[in-house]
């Protein structure tokens, strides 16, 4: 499928892409950034290893910005952006990319919507012409709406409705957030998606798709002067428009006063799974100073086969087939810190849960060592040592960060921030987040086939 759904977990993984083994205060990608007169922010990441470029546009709007009762409209509009303008026929955009041997994609997340093309460097100007054209001049032929809506509904059926773990995940997200719109699926609730109209798509487009609500990132074999000249000739001709205050539009998240538990079962589930999550601060929400320590904590606790959870539950106690932890700070709203595992065939979910709780309690009680912190930080930095050689990775990273409330400095200074994390900071952050009444526990079990 051309339009995969992005997730906040992907942002967490992308955050790691900036973690190169560089000295403190050294630039990671050393981008050039400037803003056009109409408010379009432009980021240029130079990389002349190959004569190719990644051209990406991120709009500062995602599923969490949708009007009440219109879930899925951000993703639906993403599809409709390929339906043409006055000068580009439906489907022609993609046909042009194919003819020149390029690649394209688009994606919707909670916090942004993105469109990109990877092409030979001589085609960059043409990409800017096409992308700026649909930024300002999108046309939605009436005969294209119903067929494309059916495509989106089929995507939901195949990706969500036919996948027990995805259906269960929707219920878990809805239980995790009482009010914040992260509780609503990116692809939308089926009944609301089915009722979306051409008028809904046009209104969403007019409200949010403006140059002053977008970020253009170009990475690859280009210079800032080249990009500025082409951007001025294309995007620079589009007038700015007033856009809503998305933070105020989204609202807040009430304090959680009692633990929540979601349990499900399905005949197509072969292996039980268990997870627990807590609302956590992010890069712009809550106590943001805790974010670097939480990243390191997640790596120590559950970041791979050398982590505490894996060693204890999989290797030493032989209670789980896998175990891990996850946290990513990127996003405008409240984030989550999570631990997860799946029991061995001879171990009950309840026994696994008890063992998991014991390991977390031990870390909260006894803390972590300086050696654990140093090792975790080193692994995090080395996990993306080849990021500089991939034009798409830095382009997507900067676009996602800037469209989600972050800054260039949040990317460039990341190695320095995690390098400054201490053992005491890790425990302080965990104790602030891992509070029993604030948890959401999820269990998905196999259900015997009748």
C-beta separation of 50 from 442 below 8 A: no
Q: How far apart are CA 215 and CA 447, in angstroms?
A: 47
Please confirm, yes or no, whether 78 is among the known catalytic residues: yes
C-beta separation of 189 from 71 below 8 A: yes
Instruction: Kindly state the tokens that stand for 185.
Output: 């699926």
DSSP 229-289: HHHHHTGGGSPP-----HHHHH---PPP-S-EEEEEEETT--S-EEEEEEEE--SSSS-GG
Query: Could you say which of 46, 66, 78, 154 is catalytic?
Result: 78
Buried residues in 224-251 as b, exposed as e (16+ CB within 10 A): bebbbebbbebbbebeebebeebeeebe
Q: How far apart are CA 176 and CA 180, in angstroms?
A: 9
Q: How far apart are CA 158 and CA 343, in angstroms?
A: 27
Tell me the HSE value of 23 on the side-chain side, using a 13 A CA sphere: 1
C-beta separation of 216 from 86 below 8 A: no
CA 391, 396, 401, 402 dihedral sign is positive
Distance of CA 277 to the CA centre of its chain: 17
Cα three-residue angle 175-68-248, rounded to 5 degrees = 85
Residues with catalytic function: 78
């Amino acid at each position: 499928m051309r339009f995969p759904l992005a997730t906040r977990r992907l942002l967490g993984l992308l955050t790691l892409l900036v973690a190169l083994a560089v000295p403190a205060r050294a630039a990671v990608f050393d981008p050039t950034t400037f803003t056009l007169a109409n408010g379009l922010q432009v980021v240029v990441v130079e990389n002349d290893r190959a004569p190719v470029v990644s051209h990406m546009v991120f709009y500062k709007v995602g599923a969490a910005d949708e009007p009440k009762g219109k879930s899925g409209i951000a993703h639906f509009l993403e599809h409709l952006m390929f339906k043409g303008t006055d000068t580009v026929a439906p489907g022609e955009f993609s046909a042009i990319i194919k003819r020149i041997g390029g690649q394209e994609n688009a994606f919707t997340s909670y916090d942004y919507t993105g469109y990109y093309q990877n092409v030979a460097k001589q085609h960059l100007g043409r990409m800017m012409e096409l992308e700026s054209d649909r930024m300002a001049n999108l046309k939605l032929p009436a005969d294209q709406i119903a067929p494309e809506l059916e495509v989106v509904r089929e995507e939901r059926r195949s990706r969500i409705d036919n996948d027990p773990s995805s259906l269960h995940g929707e219920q878990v997200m809805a239980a995790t957030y009482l009010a914040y719109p992260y509780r609503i699926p990116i692809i939308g609730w089926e009944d609301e998606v089915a009722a979306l109209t051409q008028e809904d798509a046009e209104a969403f487009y007019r409200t949010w798709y403006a140059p002053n609500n977008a970020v253009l990132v170009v990475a690859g074999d280009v210079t800032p002067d080249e990009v500025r000249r082409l951007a001025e000739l294309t995007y620079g001709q589009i007038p700015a428009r007033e856009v809503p205050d998305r933070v105020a539009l989204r609202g807040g998240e009430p304090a959680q006063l009692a633990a929540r538990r979601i349990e499900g079962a399905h005949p197509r589930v072969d292996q039980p799974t268990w997870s627990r999550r807590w609302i956590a601060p992010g890069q712009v929400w809550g106590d943001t100073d805790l974010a670097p320590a939480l990243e390191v904590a997640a790596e120590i606790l559950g970041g791979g086969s050398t982590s505490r959870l894996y060693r204890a539950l999989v290797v030493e106690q032989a209670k789980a087939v896998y175990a891990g932890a996850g946290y990513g700070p990127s996003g405008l709203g409240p984030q989550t810190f999570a631990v997860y595992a799946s029991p061995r065939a001879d171990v009950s979910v309840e026994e696994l849960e008890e063992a998991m709780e014991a390991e977390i309690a031990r870390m909260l009680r006894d803390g972590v060592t300086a050696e654990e912190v140093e090792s975790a930080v080193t692994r995090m930095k080395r996990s993306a040592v080849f990021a500089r050689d991939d034009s798409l990775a830095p382009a997507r990273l900067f676009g996602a960060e800037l469209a989600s409330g972050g800054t260039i400095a949040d990317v460039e200074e990341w190695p320095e921030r995690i390098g400054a994390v201490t053992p005491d900071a890790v425990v302080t952050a965990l104790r602030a987040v891992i509070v029993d009444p604030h948890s959401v526990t999820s269990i998905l079990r196999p259900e015997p086939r009748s």
